[in-house]
């Protein structure tokens, strides 16, 4: 396995572009404003104000553009700044304020920290260190890749974890093949294992994936919160169960595969080629470790003198700033601004747009109206409500951005919670987790797109495996919401 095999990610980085539909964006460009205008001119229903109806119409417009990818999702998120003041649903200041919400800075701080890990090369060393203990059987290598990817994805973005591990996985798959060709069964299992475990690992922490941060921001607007440790206590057991289930599904065709002699030696040689751990890597470990501990111990830290105002955002930003201050040992700092500029700033706008829309829905009585309109759901058992929400969210994210889908869906889930009398967190939390679990379609998540772009996975194979995992994941999320989540977040 050559170093070229392990580092050539240029083709994989284009994974999202390889699976985008052609006609849908053009149709959605026109359909969005048409839907908005049609709803506005039709007039509000009974009990709804004109400004509130305009907010719902804007939600429909944004949903059409998000689903159809008419423009970049961050551009769609700017619509509230234009439409809300024009329709009298919010003054310009109120419409713009959510774009500077503290949750957005939690996202920015978290991604700068992740960029620092990548800049130092620590992520690659950690991955190879763990993989050298994965054994020499194909099924154990698959388990090793999945565990490593999930562990990294808890702290860095799902797509970053995927792009880091996929070239290594493909190099292993090529080594396991014959005649210089990659075995499509083994290679496909490894590609899907990396992609799926990145999505699964992202549910483990509040900063693991943008959808989690969208939910944290929405909850903060509602006066609700889930402490970092409580989130992990509820999500990590589910994450581990989903990893085992996914591994079992992917490993079944490989169960009779023989041991692969020499594969661990190859991985060890790649690790050795990295040389001894650098000063920069050691210092990044210290910063990241302090930030992680501070997130988990925040309830205790806030009781100390001078730290009463400490929250997850201030911890993340403090860690990010520290990277710009601490020398790397080679004449520069652990982080520089050109590297920081490459984090996905557009997601910050997406958060802002979603929070602005949610605030306008609350201010104009939309949430209350939705709740009264859905009061019939109070007659349903809570488990039925959760099951319906989880299935709808998983299905929707197969065809649209999971972040955009959840942003649009959370206010509706909140209204359902009010109407049904269910504790809001016990509906919002499983809905958030479900948004990361679309396994069927290449466009379902960016990691899926990267896996599909390897050319080793026919669409029918992804559909067949994905629908099995979607059903099993939905059942696991519903079970978690009924038995595990109430212990920590109810």
Q: Where are the domains of the chain?
A: 3-488
| 449 touches 18 (CB < 8 A) | yes
3-state helix, strand, coil in the chain (%, to 5): 75, 0, 25
* From 29-33, 270-274, 379-383, the region with the lowest mean pLDDT: 270-274
pLDDT attached to residue 401: 65
In 3-state terms, what secondary structure has residue 333?
strand
Tell me which DSSP letter residue 480 carries: I
pLDDT in tens, 58-101: 988 988 887 777 888 789 889 999 999 999 999 999 999 988 88
CB count, 10 Å around CB of 194? 30
Checking if the pLDDT of 243 tops 90, the result is: yes
pLDDT in tens, 301-342: 888 888 888 887 888 899 999 999 999 888 899 999 998 888
- Phi, psi for 423 (deg, rounded to 5): -55, 120
Of all residues in the chain, the percent with pLDDT exceeding 90 is 25
Q: What are the helix (H) ranges across 421-489? A: 425-434, 446-452, 459-479, 485-488
Q: Encoding tokens for residue 250?
A: 């992917």
**Assign residue 3 a region: left if phi > 0, alpha if psi is -120 to 50, beta otherwise?**
alpha
pLDDT attached to residue 204: 92
How far is the C-alpha of 186 from the C-alpha of 168, rounded, in Å?
A: 14
pLDDT attached to residue 371: 62
CB count, 10 Å around CB of 36? 22
What are the CA-CA distances from residue 44 to residues 204, 363, 411 (Å)? 41, 16, 19
pLDDT attached to residue 13: 35
| 224 touches 198 (CB < 8 A) | no
How far is the C-alpha of 193 from the C-alpha of 200, rounded, in Å?
A: 10
Higher-confidence residue: 288 or 88?
Answer: 88
pLDDT in tens, 431-446: 999 999 989 877 677 7
| 376 touches 415 (CB < 8 A) | no
- Phi, psi for 226 (deg, rounded to 5): -125, 110
Q: How confident is the model at residue 7 (pLDDT cuts 50, 70, 90)?
A: very low
pTM exceeding 0.95 = no
E strands along 56-113, which residues? none
Higher-confidence residue: 373 or 87?
Answer: 87
188, 133, 112, 123: which is closest to 153 by C-alpha?
123
Average pLDDT value for the chain: 81
pLDDT attached to residue 303: 82
| 258 touches 146 (CB < 8 A) | no
pLDDT attached to residue 5: 33
Q: Which of 239-248, 371-380, 389-398, 414-423 has the highest mean pLDDT?
A: 239-248
Higher-confidence residue: 305 or 485?
Answer: 305
Length of the chain (residues): 490
E strands along 319-422, which residues? none
pLDDT attached to residue 443: 64
């Amino acid at each position: 396995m050559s170093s070229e095999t392990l580092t050539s990610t240029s083709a994989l980085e284009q994974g999202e572009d390889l699976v985008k539909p052609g006609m849908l964006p053009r149709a959605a460009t026109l359909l969005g404003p048409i839907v908005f205008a049609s709803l506005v001119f039709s007039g509000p229903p009974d009990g709804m104000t004109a400004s509130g109806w305009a907010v719902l119409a804007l939600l429909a417009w944004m949903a059409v553009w998000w689903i159809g990818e008419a423009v970049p999702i961050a551009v769609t998120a700017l619509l509230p700044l234009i439409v809300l003041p024009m329709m009298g649903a919010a003054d310009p200041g109120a419409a713009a304020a959510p774009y500077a919400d503290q949750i957005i800075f939690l996202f920015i701080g978290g991604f700068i920290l992740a960029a620092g890990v990548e800049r130092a090369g620590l992520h690659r060393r950690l991955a190879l260190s763990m993989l050298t203990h994965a054994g020499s059987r194909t099924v154990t290598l698959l388990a090793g890749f999945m565990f490593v990817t999930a562990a990294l994805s808890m702290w860095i973005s799902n797509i970053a974890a995927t792009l880091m591990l996929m070239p290594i996985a493909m190099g292993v798959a090529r080594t396991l093949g014959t005649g210089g060709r990659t075995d499509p069964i083994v290679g496909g299992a490894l590609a899907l294992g990396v992609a799926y475990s990145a999505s699964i690992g992202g549910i483990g922490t509040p900063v693991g994936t943008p959808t989690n941060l969208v939910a944290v921001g929405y909850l903060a607007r509602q006066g609700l919160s889930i402490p970092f440790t409580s989130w992990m206590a509820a999500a990590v057991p589910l994450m581990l169960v989903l990893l085992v289930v996914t591994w079992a599904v992917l490993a079944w065709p490989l169960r009779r595969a023989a041991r692969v002699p020499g594969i661990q030696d190859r991985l060890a040689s790649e690790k050795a080629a990295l040389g001894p751990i650098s000063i920069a890597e050691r210092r990044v470990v210290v910063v990241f470790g302090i930030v992680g501990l501070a997130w988990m111990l925040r309830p205790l830290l806030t009781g100390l003198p001078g730290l009463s105002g400490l929250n997850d955002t201030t911890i993340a930003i403090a860690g990010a700033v520290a990277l710009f201050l601490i020398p790397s040992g080679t004449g520069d700092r652990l982080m520089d601004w050109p590297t920081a500029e490459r984090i996905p700033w557009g997601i910050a706008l997406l958060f802002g747009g979603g929070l602005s829309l949610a605030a306008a829905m609350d201010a104009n009585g939309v949430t209350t109206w939705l709740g009264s309109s859905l009061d019939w759901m109070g007659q349903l058992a809570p488990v039925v409500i959760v099951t319906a929400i989880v299935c709808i969210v998983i299905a929707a994210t197969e065809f649209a951005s999971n972040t955009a889908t959840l942003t649009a869906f959370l206010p509706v889930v909140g209204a359902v919670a009010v109407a049904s009398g269910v504790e809001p967190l016990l509906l919002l939390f499983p809905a958030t987790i479900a948004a990361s679990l679309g396994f069927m379609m290449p466009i379902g998540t960016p990691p899926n797109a990267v896996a599909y772009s390897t050319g080793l996975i026919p669409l029918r194979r992804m559909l067949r495996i994905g629908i099995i995992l979607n059903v099993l994941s939905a059942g696991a999320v519903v079970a978690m919401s009924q038995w595990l989540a109430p212990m920590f977040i109810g």
